Amino acid sequence: MKQVMMACLILVLGFVLAVSIVLPSEAEEFSGPTKGKGLRNFSVGEIELAKEIDTLANRHMRVRYWEVAPGGVVPVHSHKNRPAFIYVANGEIYEHRSDKAEPNVYKTGDISREADGVKHWWENKSKKTVVLIAFDVYEKK
């Protein structure tokens, strides 16, 4: 278990460093759904990073399990100050991003990188529930 936690910590640190080096510009206008639909999620676990890393006060690392029902939508949101990786455990889902004209299509086994400044939303156009595993670092208030 300690090895898994250390691997996750190293992954987060590498990601935070990469994000701090290359920050995409924020789109001026981007719209999408403002309310979710057909969603179910719960926290799988989290770590208070301030106890692990002195310079990340109030930051937490978490892994969440998401189910997006057929026709379900994850509403538009920003990843400013909240880097994340999303693993598609099962299904196919569309991601609409502020930095791309066309949506990304993710299938089972794919990973989405969500960095500072990105605004986006997700939709399940299929007839099957999509399962996502979301890993992010966020500020707990």
Output the domain CATH number for residue 81. Answer: 2.60.120.10
pLDDT of residue 56: 78
Between residues 79 and 39, which one has the greater pLDDT?
A: 39
Indicate if the pLDDT at residue 133 is higher than 90: yes
Indicate if the pLDDT at residue 7 is higher than 60: no
Q: How many CA atoms, within 13 angstroms, populate the side-chain half-sphere of residue 137?
A: 24
d(CA 45, CA 47): 7
d(CA 123, CA 95): 7
Range of the domain at 128: 2-24+32-139
Nearest residue to 98 via CA among 111, 82, 80: 80
Give pTM, 2 decimals.
0.69
Q: 126 pairs with which residues across the strands?
A: none
Phi, psi dihedrals of residue 56, rounded to the nearest 5°:
-120, 55
DSSP 8-state secondary structure symbol assigned to residue 28:
S
Mean pLDDT of the chain, nearest integer? 82
Question: In the chain, how many domains are there?
Answer: 1
Between residues 18 and 130, which one has the greater pLDDT?
A: 130
Confidence of residue 17 (pLDDT cuts 50, 70, 90): very low
Asked if 121 and 33 count as a contact pair (C-beta separation under 8 A), the reply is: yes
